[in-house]
Amino acid sequence: MRSIAVLRAAAAVTALAALLLFGAAARMRTMGDGWAVEANRAIERYAFADRSLTRDMLSARIGLLRNYDMINQDLASADESTERLAQRAGGDVPLRRAISRLRDHMRDAEGLAEAFKSENALLQNSLARVTALCNLLQDSPRAGTVSARFLRLTLDTSPAAVAAARAALADLAGGQGDLEAQLIAHGRLLIALLPRVDAILDAVREGGRDGEIETVRRLVVEHQRRIEARHQRAFLGLLAAGVAAAVLWLALLAALRAQVRERRRRRENERLSATVASLLLEVSSEQLEQRIEDALQRLAAHAGATDAYLVLDGDQAGRTYIWSSDGRLSEHWPARVAVAAQDAPLWDDDVLHLALPHGADTPLGAMLLARGTTSLLLIRARTPVPALLGFERHDTDRGRSDVIAGLRMAQAAILQALRRDGLERARLQLELRLARARRMEAIGAVASGVAHNFNNIIGAIGGFSEIAEIHAGRNQVVREDLSEIRQAVDRARELVDEILAFGRGHDAEYRPLTLQALVEETVRLVRAAGRGTIHFVAQDWPAARAVQGNAAQLQQVFMNICNNAFHATPADPHVDVTLTFRAECRPRTFSHASLDAGDYAVVTIADRGCGIAAAAQPRLFEPFFTGRQGGTGLGLSTAWEIVQAHGGTIDVRSAPGKGSSFHIWLPAMRARLLVPVQQAAAPASGNGECVLVVAPEAVREAVEDLVAQLGYEPVSVDPTRADIGAQADAAGADAVLLVDAPDAARSFVPTGPAGPQAGVLLLMRPAGGRAFAPVPLAAPLDPVALAAALRPLAVEPTLQS
């Protein structure tokens, strides 16, 4: 009996030892996976820092980046990444050599960056000085030649351009004064600096680090495989020790089966991740959306789901990708799920697994019940792009952690593809901005000279129109025509000021504009010019909507495009102008640019002319490009720059023989809460009764002025205060006017149609009463409506509480 007990004890000890060793082996495998993840993250950080270094140096070269801290941060990030890789390389000699080569490449880049910073600082200073000197010497033909040669040199640093610049300086040296001497000195410095700086940029861009990065990736994979091989040998040794003990045979067999299942699931996850990554490899921005939807279909099959979606947050907020087996999933549903799940108490390590009826009492569960969904799986990612991956009506048996791990890997691949696409778009936009900035420098120089001459002509027109108005007497028709001329002169003066500001590189001043009035004024000016027939229609345009912009610049855009439309239809000059409001819930791509989701005003100018050739459409907005005989090629390029500066874009749709339409998209501001007093004047009706004004700081002063003009005494209170009712009693207020203050309104009227939903709410005390009665008013606040609502205070003064 004692021997049996000893055998049992020995078997138990053997089983315990085998289990401990098996756990240690499994831990080693996990550590090996963690090593690979950290190494790959370090490689990705290095690659990102390398790309950011090129981008930031390019920004510094064109003058968009004045502070070199970002370049230093890129270099520091790359050094830190190589240091982490070296720490994880261990004794792997080929991997350490590859990392050393990578570090040497970055040290070369550091040297180039240091040289670039010093050279570029001198370059920017000299370039600014040469520009200023050329402006001072603008009456000198030789100085003008020097300016033109150096403008070309900033765009082209070839030997021919350098020789031309030197020749221009040599020609200027003949009769030099103090300014000419300074110009020659700085010009020689620019001739030396520009080729060197551009050569440094080329050296950084062509550093050849991509091949070394791929070599390090390959060696990391090989190193991981060797680690896994060592762990596999350790596991087989443990298995052999377990088989020797008959008592542990069934336990070891079960463990082996579990290990096989785990490996199978891991292979499935790896296969899924590789499939998704291959779908998104080397894909263009136009194909990316369709490829992501294909990837969602594969992920839904892996999770056994009927619907799948990916909701992005952060810098790509509003973008949603959807796949549905029956095509009935609404594009707004994923965003609603994301909002409802944000604060749900069901998250576990960024995973939310809800199988009804469990969780049916939560807002998210109620939404799923109403839609008929039986189960929901959400996986939240925080890097590289905040996102939410969701599956509905999925197989609950596939909510296991191993399946979720595969979905996480695939989600990371999709987000990395989106990140790469965003970086590529940013790089292309930067290159386009660089090229366009170089062209617009030349336009600005020309525009400044022309605008001065136009200013003299406009002054003469304005003066003679004022004299003519004096002689017109009571002839109303002539006086109206002269009034239109004065308005056109004022607009032309604003336009000249904008051209001068553009030539000096100054930003225009933007104000809230009533776009419909601006377009109607433009149509009247075009119609008065008598070039043809022009028709304007405002379709579904909210009267309270406005745009933030510069009236002179926007009218210049509309005038240029209308003039082009008339030129395109010489036989039957007819132009249709339409103003519409568009609320876009997803980003959109147009003929020449893209816009994020939001509210937009769209001004469409359409003609019935000959159309635009397909080959010419991509170049429509290039400076000096024109398809019309006698054209300058500046109208559309200037219009494009103005609309881009306003945060919008121009969508061109044209076909030869079928006319053209230019859709000008401008961001629309939120609905106004006030109607200007001069647009709807109201008679004063109050006798000094006290009105408590609760409004945001941005509109508070305007509301106070309006209440005072109506004959009442305004007393202002911050809408964030919690004791507004007590403030009303303390001030002896007869009424409380709440403008865009939903929290304050909720303290008076908790629910109902006159509650916090109303943009403007008036609360009045009935005669002899203490409680306030709500009177909802429409936004924007109309002075006439407010006077009518407050009139009972003046007719029947209330008793103070």
**Is residue 539 domain-resident?**
yes
> Does residue 777 carry a pLDDT above 90?
no
**pLDDT confidence of residue 239:** 60
Separation between Cα atoms, residue 641 and residue 445, nearest integer Å: 16
pLDDT digits (tens, 9 = 90+) for 385-403: 788 888 887 555 555 666 7
**Is residue 659 domain-resident?**
yes
Last residue of a domain, one of 163, 193, 211: 211
The dihedral sign for the CA sequence 453, 458, 459, 463:
positive
In this structure, are 590 and 517 located in the same domain? yes
Amino acid at 342: Q
**Is residue 340 domain-resident?**
no
pLDDT: which is higher, 740 or 449: 740
In this structure, are 638 and 721 located in the same domain? no
Confidence of residue 665 (pLDDT cuts 50, 70, 90): very high
In this structure, are 617 and 557 located in the same domain? yes
Nearest CA to 535 out of 551, 547, 517, 519 is that of 519
**Is residue 1 domain-resident?**
no
pLDDT digits (tens, 9 = 90+) for 304-318: 888 898 888 754 545
User: How much of the chain is in helix, strand and coil states, percent to nearest 5?
Assistant: 60, 15, 25
- 634: domain CATH number is 3.30.565.10
* Most confident by average pLDDT, 96-110, 199-213, 616-630: 96-110
Contact by Cβ (8 Å): 310, 316: no
CB within 8 Å of 304: residues ≥ 6 apart: 394, 395, 397, 398
**Is residue 47 domain-resident?**
yes
Domain assignment of residue 717, given as a range:
690-795
**pLDDT confidence of residue 110:** 80
Confidence of residue 752 (pLDDT cuts 50, 70, 90): very low
> Does residue 371 carry a pLDDT above 90?
no
In this structure, are 656 and 710 located in the same domain? no
pTM over 0.95: no
Separation between Cα atoms, residue 570 and residue 565, nearest integer Å: 9
Amino acid at 170: A
pLDDT: which is higher, 200 or 464: 200
| Nearest-5° Cα angle at 72, 70 to 75 | 110
**pLDDT confidence of residue 205:** 74
Per-residue b or e along 718-752, where b marks 16 or more CB atoms closer than 10 Å to that residue's CB: ebeeeebbebbeeeebbbbbbbbbeebbeebbeee
**Is residue 478 domain-resident?**
no
pLDDT-wise least confident of 128-132, 208-212, 732-736: 208-212
pLDDT digits (tens, 9 = 90+) for 278-299: 877 777 777 888 888 888 888 8
> Does residue 55 carry a pLDDT above 50?
yes
Last residue of a domain, one of 211, 233, 253: 211
pLDDT-wise least confident of 228-237, 648-657, 661-670: 228-237
**Is residue 321 domain-resident?**
no
**pLDDT confidence of residue 800:** 38
**pLDDT confidence of residue 628:** 67
Q: What is the CA radius of gyration of the chain?
A: 36
Q: What is the mean pLDDT of the chain?
A: 75
**pLDDT confidence of residue 254:** 66
> Does residue 1 carry a pLDDT above 50?
no
The number of folded domains in the chain is 3
Tokens of 570: 């010489």
In this structure, are 655 and 596 located in the same domain? yes
Q: Would you list the DSSP string of 155-167?
A: H--SHHHHHHHHH
Contact by Cβ (8 Å): 674, 691: no
> Does residue 32 carry a pLDDT above 60?
no
Amino acid at 221: V
DSSP β-bridge partners for residue 324? 307
pLDDT digits (tens, 9 = 90+) for 415-472: 888 888 878 877 777 676 666 666 666 666 666 667 667 766 776 687 677 677 767 7
Mean pLDDT of 352-367: 79
Separation between Cα atoms, residue 276 and residue 563, nearest integer Å: 51
In this structure, are 656 and 738 located in the same domain? no
In this structure, are 572 and 705 located in the same domain? no
| Nearest-5° Cα angle at 617, 613 to 618 | 140
pLDDT-wise least confident of 7-16, 256-265, 768-777: 7-16
**pLDDT confidence of residue 602:** 92
Contact by Cβ (8 Å): 739, 775: no
Per-residue b or e along 232-268, where b marks 16 or more CB atoms closer than 10 Å to that residue's CB: eebbeebbebbeebeebeeebeebeeebeeeeebeee
Last residue of a domain, one of 155, 186, 211: 211
Separation between Cα atoms, residue 461 and residue 635, nearest integer Å: 23
Tokens of 176: 């030099």
Tokens of 128: 């600014």
pLDDT-wise least confident of 221-230, 573-582, 595-604: 221-230
**Is residue 617 domain-resident?**
yes
Separation between Cα atoms, residue 187 and residue 168, nearest integer Å: 10
Confidence of residue 679 (pLDDT cuts 50, 70, 90): very low
In this structure, are 48 and 196 located in the same domain? yes
Mean pLDDT of 558-585: 82
**pLDDT confidence of residue 245:** 55
In this structure, are 202 and 55 located in the same domain? yes
In this structure, are 717 and 640 located in the same domain? no
